[in-house]
Amino acid sequence: MTNRPAPTLPTPAERRRLREAASLSQAALAARMSVTSTTIHSWETGRATPRGRALEAYASFLTTTAGRPGPAGKPVRTSRSQAGTAVKGAEDKARGEVGEKAEAPPEPARAEASRPRPARPEPPRPSPRPPRPTGATPREAFDALYASCAGVLVRQTYLLTGRHTVAVESVERAFQLAWARWPEVAVDRDPAGWVRAAAHEYALSPWHRMRAAHRRPATPGTVLPPPRGRADHDLMDALLSLAPRHRRTLLLYDGVGLDLPETAAETEATTRAAAHRVLSARAAVAERVPALADPAALHRRLDALSPLEPATEEQGALIRTGGERRVRRWTRSAVVLTAVIAGATAFCVSVAPDHYVRPPAAGEAITGVPPHAGPGPLSEEDRSLREKLREHPAAGPERVRPLPR
Q: Where are the domains of the chain?
A: 1-79, 104-116+137-341
Q: Which of 137, 168, 157, 143 is nearest to 320 (CA)?
A: 143
Name residues whose C-beta falls within 8 Å of residue 337's C-beta, 6 or more positions apart in sequence.
none
pLDDT, position 212: 61
pLDDT, position 126: 42
pLDDT, position 348: 92
Report how far residue 18's alpha carbon sits from residue 38's, in angstroms, rounded to the nearest whole number: 18
Q: 143: how many CB neighbours lie within 10 A of its CB?
A: 22
Could you list the pLDDT tens digit for every one of the 405 residues in the chain? 455 666 788 888 888 888 888 878 787 788 788 788 778 887 888 778 888 778 888 888 888 887 744 333 333 333 333 444 444 455 444 444 333 333 444 444 444 444 444 444 444 444 444 444 445 788 888 888 888 888 888 888 888 888 888 888 889 889 989 998 898 888 888 888 899 999 998 888 877 776 665 555 554 444 444 455 677 788 888 888 889 899 999 988 888 888 888 888 888 889 899 999 999 999 998 888 888 888 888 888 887 776 566 667 677 778 888 888 888 898 999 999 999 999 999 999 998 888 888 888 888 888 888 777 777 788 999 899 888 888 776 666 666 666 666
pLDDT, position 400: 64
Q: 326: how many CB neighbours lie within 10 A of its CB?
A: 13
Task: Report the SS3 class of residue 185.
Answer: helix
pLDDT, position 373: 75
pLDDT, position 298: 84
Report how far residue 250's alpha carbon sits from residue 240's, in angstroms, rounded to the nearest whole number: 12
DSSP element (H, E) containing 181: none
Q: Any idea which architecture 1-79 has in CATH? A: Orthogonal Bundle (1.10)
Report how far residue 264's alpha carbon sits from residue 254's, in angstroms, rounded to the nearest whole number: 13
Q: How far is CA 336 from the centre of its chain?
A: 27
Q: Which of 233, 265, 263 is nearest to 247 (CA)?
A: 263
Residue 268: DSSP 8-state: T
8 A C-beta contact, residue 104 and residue 278 = no
pLDDT, position 110: 41
Task: Report the SS3 class of residue 266.
Answer: helix
